[in-house]
Chains A and B, each alone.
Chain A
Amino acid sequence: MNLLLDLALVAWLVVLALHVARTGDDRNAIVAFIAFGLLLGLAWTRLGAIDVALTEAAIGGGITGLLLLRAEAHLRRGRQADGAPRQGGGAKTIVAALASAVVALGLGLAVLAFPSPAPTLAQPALAAIDATGLGNPVTAVLLAYRALDTLLEKVVVLLALLGVWALTPDNLWGGAPELKEANPPQPLLYLARTLPPFGVLIAVYMVWVGADAPGGTFQAGSILAAMWLLVMLAGLSPAPETRSRLLRLLLVGGPALFFAIGFLGFAVAGGFLAYPKPLAKALIVGIEAALTVAIALALGLLVAGPSNKAPAR
Chain B
Amino acid sequence: MTLAALDSATLFGLCGAALAGIGLFVVIAHPGLLRRLVGFNILGAGIFMVFGAVARRGAAAGLPGDPVPQAMVITGIVVAFSASALAVALLRRLFDLTGRDSLEPPAAGKTPRAES
On whether the beta carbons of B17 and A26 are closer than 8 Å, the reply is: no
Residues on the B chain within 8 Å of A137, using CB = 63, 67
Q: Which of A3, A70, A118, A299 contacts B8 (CB 8 A)?
A: A3
Q: Helix, strand, loop or mixed for chain B's interface?
A: helix
Complex Cα distance A138/B69, Å? 9
Complex Cα distance A29/B35, Å? 8
Residues on the B chain within 8 Å of A149, using CB = 72, 75
Residues on the A chain within 8 Å of B57, using CB = 114, 118, 120
- Is residue A122 within 8 Å, beta carbon to beta carbon, of the partner chain? yes
Known: A10-B15, A123-B60. A160 touches B24 (CB 8 A): no
Residue of A nearest to B4 (CB): A3
On whether the beta carbons of A79 and B25 are closer than 8 Å, the reply is: no
Binding site for B on A (CB under 8 A): 2-3, 6-7, 10, 13-14, 17-18, 20-21, 26, 29-30, 33, 36-37, 40, 43-44, 46-49, 51-52, 55-56, 59-60, 63-64, 67-68, 70-72, 74-75, 78-80, 82, 86-88, 92-93, 95-97, 99-101, 103-105, 107-108, 111-112, 114, 118-123, 125-126, 137-138, 140-142, 145-146, 149-150, 153, 156-157, 159-161, 163-164, 167, 218, 295, 299, 302-303, 305-306
Binding site for A on B (CB under 8 A): 1, 3, 6, 8-26, 28-32, 34-35, 37-39, 41-42, 45, 48-50, 52-68, 70-75, 77-79, 81-86, 88-93, 95-96, 99, 101-102, 104, 107, 110, 113
List 29 contacting pairs A-B, 8 Å CB cutoff, sorted by A: A6-B8, A14-B15, A17-B22, A17-B23, A18-B22, A21-B22, A40-B45, A48-B56, A48-B64, A49-B55, A49-B65, A51-B74, A52-B74, A55-B78, A56-B45, A64-B41, A67-B85, A72-B34, A86-B107, A99-B25, A100-B28, A103-B20, A121-B67, A138-B67, A141-B68, A145-B68, A146-B72, A157-B78, A164-B85
